[in-house]
Structure 1
Amino acid sequence: MSHPTDETGAGRRPDAGARAVPGPAPVPPAGSPSGSPAVPPGPQEGPTAADLASQYAAKSGVRRNHAGQIDVLSSIGGVQGLAESIGPGLVFTVLFTLTTDLQVSLIAALAVSAVFTAVRLVSRTPVTQALAGLVGVAFCAFVALRTGNAEDFFLPGFFINGAYIVAMVASVGFRWPFAGLLFGFIRNEGIEWRKAPARVRAYSTATWIIVAVLALRLVVQVPLYLVGNVAALGSTRVAMGLPLYALGLWLAWIVSRPAPAVSEGSSASGPAAPKG
């Protein structure tokens, strides 16, 4: 501990007999009982738009390959993810077409989805996609059992599809196009692309491509649902599921490629080729 000081020097001993005159006690700042300066807490800042976009891009599963192009198979969950997507619906369609037994067909579809989830649990791989698929199949089965109509197994998918269309159209309207959120971070653009009107237009066009894929599903499948053609509905549902979405994703990636960067001193006829 340091020694107390007087007016004439540090550590000097006071004369004998001198009485120390106590000065006024320091008044601690309000709200600081220990006498240390009170530091008001700073504002609690929530996640920024860039943080939210980054988290969404990270969870989307979209990846690039070594050539800098979109890895379509990896982006839809690989072969396992593709099987998890089309397996339950395919089994339901085949069994119902052969047996016309709604309950057996629904149980088989649920069993296939449960097996996929169990495989992921045993192999300790991310279970989110399979678990979401299991919940989705269970809900579809519940709807079909309640109505007694096999075609209603596919009904919830129409509403989900429609919700995605509305959300993507809104994202274009608010100048936060879905494709930009999906591709911006894996292209190292972050959300800086929003400052360039040309990039916003490119990502808006890419988003419209994905919207067109989703709308095409409804155009083809809803009439089949209305006439109760389960076999055709199930077949088109498989073909126009992840495979068609993967094609739309690839086209959206190609359309939204950044313009080639022209290095200083290079001619306009020889720009560097972009990698994505």
Structure 2
Amino acid sequence: MSGDDAHKDAVGDSVRRAAASSNLANLTAADTLTGRALLAAMGGVRGILEAVLPGLLFLVVFTVSQQLIAAIVAAGVVGVLFAVVRLAQRQSLTQALAGLVGIALSAGLALLNDKPEDYYVLGFWTNGTYLAALLISVLIGWPLVGVVVGLLTGEGANWRGHRALRRIYGGITLVWAAMFAARLVVQLPLYFAGNVEALGALRLLMGVPLYAPVLVATWLVVSAIRRRTGPRENAEPA
């Protein structure tokens, strides 16, 4: 095997692992859509708390005290507690550590510029990166939702041989892009206005409460496609 082939295989394996660990993969594994399946796909109660509670505490503490350091300490303490609990229970630290890194980077930006609103800058870059990746994937004819579904079902890129499927997957991918775009459109003006309280509140409201319906809608559409076409019809025509 040549070096290029080995590199391509490594990249392919990385993409497959990323797809398999996605929330869509976890939800797709469920036979029926239930509240429990949706909750599990989003990391369970603990996963949601790990995603929401640090930001909520930052917002509440800053709103009450108007002290940046106090708000950062509150967010950091709860992040550390989540990591300690997972470590004590010998569970995966990936999500908790990712949260800690995010808190540390956000806190560093806010402290560096002495601007509380800079605590949310990392989120803008994250949303912008996802938005760009999703839009580019549609423009080049490889919508990311289709790529993920192909990897999860083992059908690879066969869906690209069907115009209808390309359009559907492209449409779903654009829905995800619209979600990230909406976050930027709504939240960036608040950031530039220095309105930390409104920015923090909308950041929470446009997080899990907005993400969950988009995830459910994606699951419903993909499941309907799978039931209607089946794996054979998804195969690329000769």
TM-score range, shorter chain: 0.7 to 0.9
Whether 1:258 and 2:232 are equivalent positions in the alignment is: no
1:248 has 2:214 as partner: yes
**Partner of residue 55, structure 1:** 17
Which position in structure 1 is the counterpart of 2:233?
Answer: none
* SS state at 1:184 partner: helix
- Residue 28 of structure 1 corresponds to none
- The letter of the residue matching 2:59 is T
Distance 1:259 1:66 in 2: 14
Distance 1:155 1:176, change over 3 A: same
Residue 225 of structure 2 aligns with an amino acid whose one-letter code is P
3-state SS in 2 of match to 1:175: coil
Segment drifting more, 68-77 vs 130-139: 68-77
Change (3 A) 1:262 1:110: closer
**Structure 1 residues 196, 208: closer, same or farther in 2, change over 3 A?**
same
Look up the SS of the partner of 2:165 in the other structure. Answer: helix
Q: Which residue does the alignment assign to 1:231? A: 197
- TM alignment of 1:14-93, pairs within 5 A: 42-43=1-2, 45-46=5-6, 47=9, 51-61=13-23, 62-63=25-26, 64=28, 66-69=30-33, 71-93=37-59
Q: Distance in 1 between matches of 2:148 and 2:2?
A: 30
| Change in 2 beyond 3 A, CA 1:174/1:231 | same
1:140 aligned residue (106, 130, 137): 106
How far apart in 2 are the matches of 1:119 and 1:104?
Answer: 23
Alignment-derived partner of residue 150 in structure 2: 184
Greater helix proportion: 2
Length-normalised TM-score, structure 1: 0.73
Amino acid in structure 2 at the alignment position of 1:58: A
**CA distance 1:43–1:150, change in 2 (3 Å):** closer
Q: Taking every aligned residue pair, what percent have the same amino acid on both sides?
A: 39
Partner in structure 2 of residue 17 of structure 1: none
Do the aligned partners of 1:165 and 1:211 also contact (CA within 8 Å) in 2?
yes
User: Equivalents in 2 of 1:137, 1:184: separation in Å?
Assistant: 34
From 159, 162, 181, the equivalent of 2:125 is 159
Aligned length: 222
Q: CA deviation at 1:207?
A: 0.5
Stretches of structure 2 that go unaligned for 5 or more consecutive residues are 231-238
Residue 173 (structure 2) pairs with residue 207 (structure 1): yes
